[in-house]
Amino acid sequence: MTYEAPLVRRADSVGKLRRLALMPLEIINKGKYDSPKDQVAAAQSYEDICANFLTRDKGYEIARVRDADGKWQNDLLDKSENSSIQELYREWHKEKAEKHTASVIQKIGRALNVDGVLVVRITERKMSLAEGGLWACLNIALLNIPLFYLMISADKGAWIYETATGRLVWYEERSAIADERSPITVSLSSLFRDMENAVPRQLIK
């Protein structure tokens, strides 16, 4: 790792976590995908967008824990005695209690020799023309309350946990309405637009 946690966490110091492990992107499917295969393919495509933007525009080193074919890249593990990445990922999902999350993040981060762990989650919905018409009518009838609900409901988000402490140090959430007319490349990149650029390696002690 290239970073050690300070005694006092500054809100704008996420850039020191320059090497991040990108966990498999999670899609909460609301009827958009007809098969799990299509959903996985979409998730991998979205991972590409996130990794490329963070590398090209923000200067981070991104370690993707699965490759373009969806295979777990166990060669990323720092030591042979560590569990497989897939087992570490399962452990992360099993640990729902907040008090256990830090230890799991630390275990994952250290095994992958990264400064932080990046989690991205998207909710995708399939809306028929009939549903769209009904939604429009409800907006008029209820003085745009449904529209307001969509505007404040996040449908995509990103969270970064630092390996040194296992704590959540940065997050961003976006609503469906905010990025409604943007292509997915722009929509996903917008999650990281205001994120601090990675600090150059030579400036990190």
Concatenating the DSSP letter of every residue in 96-146 gives -SHHHHHHHHHHHHHHTT-SEEEEEEEEEE---HHHHHHHHHHHHHTTTHH
Whether 101 is covered by a domain: the verdict is: yes
**Residue 19 belongs to domain spanning:** 14-127+155-200
Least confident range from 7-11, 31-35, 200-204: namely 7-11
For residues 80-92, average pLDDT: 84
- CATH code at position 89: 3.40.50
Distance CA 137, CA 139 (A): 5
Give tens-digit pLDDT for 150-191.
444 458 899 999 999 999 999 998 876 555 556 677 888 889
- Model pTM score: 0.77
At residue 108 the predicted structure's pLDDT band, cuts being 50, 70 and 90, is very high
Structure tokens at 181: 């007319």
The reported pLDDT for the residue numbered 147 is: 46
Instruction: State residue 172's pLDDT score.
Output: 92
**pLDDT tens, position by position, 13-64:** 577 899 999 999 988 877 777 888 888 888 898 999 999 999 999 999 999 9
When pLDDT is averaged across residues 96-102 and rounded to a whole number, the result is 67
Any domain includes 2: no
90 domain-assigned: yes
Half-sphere exposure of 114 (CA within 13 A, CB side): 28
The residue among 50, 83, 84 whose CA lies nearest residue 64 is 50
User: Average pLDDT for residues 64-87, to the nearest whole number?
Assistant: 85
Q: Within a domain: residue 1?
A: no
CA distance 136 to 138: 5
Residue 202: is its pLDDT beyond 70? no
Q: Tell me how many domains the chain contains.
A: 1
